[in-house]
Amino acid sequence: MDITKKQFSSYMIAAFSIAWPLQIIASIFALRGNLTAFQLLLSVTMFAPFAATLVARIPLKCMGWKPRLKGKVRYIFVALWLNSVLMVLGAGLFFLIFPKSFDSELTFFTATLIARAGEQAVEQLAAQGLTVQMYLIISAAQAFTIAPFINMLFALGEEVGWRGGMTPYLKEKFGTAKGRLLSGLIWGIWHWPIIILAGYEYGMSYIGAPVLGPIVFCFFTTATGILIDWIYEKTHCIWFPALMHGAINAFGTVFPYLAKAEYSRYSIFGPAYIGLISMIPLLIVSGVIMAKAAKGS
């Protein structure tokens, strides 16, 4: 794809000037306790890279809109479940190091249910013959199978910009390795306002707050961006990065509920995929992909 320096500059300006004000407004809603407005604005923000692509007039037709599945069906499952496997391994590593943080009673998950649906939430589950543990398992199963395809539609708003336009330009200009690293760094920085202001992903009371979270998140986006760009290279279809992105957003929400609330200050380490400890399997796999790319170049 031929993207000029002027188009790339226009894209970058638009991607941030659209998203950051929305993130700041969303953070204000979050701090006031209006989580519905917060989530709605975050969903809108996900389309800022897509809108920036249109503003910069980066051609969309070359991004691979028509899935060509012959010989590539296996990548559907890779997009769906590779990161899920890495999440499980990462969370397991976190709980191995912090065994006392594991909450078999799911008190944090129960409190979240009550906060969202009222005091009768647990009683309603019991009336259906479900425990809180069973409900979390059902939710995880949905996040593992159905939710990625729903989330894919929102993730497409980012992937058209990040992987469809920005990363190819950076790889062409700086080479595959540096291009992927810069792409992941930019993707991470794009999230900084909601991480710093609203405690997005790590909360507000973690060790090193509010400085360490934005930095660690960039490690996550860089490593994840390598995986997503790798599957885009393999399929030449923008729907695969969107599906992988959607799967990460879906299944990644499960693991924070497995830790006791008093361990929230350790969220910078895990058990969510974005923690320093829980992302170790991800870092290893992304490192192998980069090493193979360097060897093949």
What is the DSSP secondary-structure string of 101-165?
Answer: GB-TT-HHHHHHHHHHH-TTHHHHHHHTT--HHHHHHHHHHHHHHTHHHHHHHHHHHHHHHIIII
CA distance 237 to 69: 10
Of the chain, the percentage scoring pLDDT greater than 90 comes to 91
With a cut of 90, say whether residue 185 has pLDDT above it. Answer: yes
Strand partners, 102: 259
Count how many Cα atoms sit within 13 Å of the Cα of residue 167 in the half-sphere of its side chain: 30
Tell me the one-letter amino acid at 267. Answer: S
- Cβ–Cβ < 8 Å for 166, 8: yes
With a cut of 70, say whether residue 294 has pLDDT above it. Answer: yes
Tell me the backbone φ, ψ of residue 288, rounded to 5 degrees. Answer: -65, -40
What is the value of pTM for the model shown? 0.96
- Residue 1's pLDDT is what? 67
| 203-234 pLDDT per residue, tens | 999 999 999 999 999 999 999 999 999 999 99
